[in-house]
Amino acid sequence: MKPIFIKTILIAGILSLACTTKVSEWVLTNSLPNEYLLAYYHKDPLSETVREQNSEIAREISSANIQFRSVLKKDIEKPYYALIYNNRLFSKYYNPQELNDLSVSPLRKKIAAELMSGKLCVMLYLKTGIPAKDDPELQIIKRTITASPFREIIPVVELDRNNVEEKHLVSMLLNVEDDLKEINEPMLFGVFARFKALEPLLGKGITEENINLMIDFLTADCSCLIKDDLPGTDILFTKNWENPMPAMVNQILDANPILVHH
């Protein structure tokens, strides 16, 4: 796993190519989220029932960053749906009911509203459900954000990985990197722009220094490197991202020139 703080400090350090628009603002207003693929793999001709079923699924997700496709595949035992992102298999579903609320959920709506309101990012804390693991790191997060000059524009949201209502969001977060599903540690995701999740800080890596490095990245001047090779994984969400509110970070930086890092 490549620690996020190494990536962010390297990217934020590319100063000669920078423009004055901050990373979080530029990505929100200029970068379309990458699309997912929901594939229905089948080995037999589609029945009328399945065709209607798939048409309904396609309609439900039509406004999200996802495409639906039926794929003939002779070497499978039974048909299934596969959620794919950047050629990586995220999840398999053998029952169409499992796809309910695939592209939208209450917490995703809440996070999107925060991003559209001009907030810098949302710090999404994915908990293990074990208080002895979750609580100490949560206190570090809250203490660090409270001490930050950007505290008013960085909401902290908690999510238990066993939350049934948000199972699709949890699954996508645990697929931001290949090995996250095997790690039973609390994780802190910086979510910004059009629901792009940075690689998380894990367990004891959730420190004041690393959280501030994440904030430094999001408040840094944008650069050609960032535009060409954006870090993070886009989360599937049904949303119109047009006309966000002005980025609040600019007000804070204008009022506090000492915070500006070029």
pLDDT given at position 5:
47
Asked if residue 77 and residue 61 are part of one domain, the reply reads yes
For residues 172 and 248, state if they share a domain.
yes
- Judge if 60 and 173 occupy the same domain: no
The residue out of 46, 67, 99 marking a domain boundary is 99
Distance CA 220, CA 235 (A): 23
Q: Determine the Cα–Cα distance for residues 262 and 258; give it in Å rounded to an integer.
A: 11
Question: Are residues 41 and 13 part of one domain?
Answer: no
**Cβ 193 vs Cβ 235: under 8 Å:** no
Compute the distance between CA of residue 34 and CA of residue 166 in angstroms, rounded to an integer: 21
Q: What is the model's pLDDT at position 223?
A: 56
- Between CA 164 and CA 212 the distance in angstroms is 31
Residues 232, 99 contacting (CB under 8 angstroms) = no
Nearest to 195 by CA among 11, 36, 38, 28: 28
User: What total of structural domains would you count in the chain?
Assistant: 2
Question: Which pairing describes strands 80-85 and 36-42: parallel, antiparallel, or unpaired?
Answer: antiparallel
What is the length of the chain?
262
pLDDT in tens, the chain (262 residues): 444 444 444 444 443 344 567 888 888 888 899 999 999 999 999 999 999 999 999 999 999 999 999 999 999 999 999 999 999 999 999 999 999 999 999 999 999 999 999 999 999 999 999 999 999 999 999 999 999 999 999 999 999 999 999 999 999 999 999 999 999 999 999 999 999 999 999 999 999 999 999 999 898 876 544 555 678 999 999 988 999 999 898 888 877 766 665 4
Q: Which of these, 90, 105, 104, 148, lies nearest to 123 by C-alpha position? A: 148
Do 125 and 8 fall into the same domain?
A: yes
Domain of residue 128: give its range.
4-32+105-259
| CATH number, domain with residue 145 | 3.40.30.10
Please say whether the beta carbons of 26 and 248 come within 8 A: no
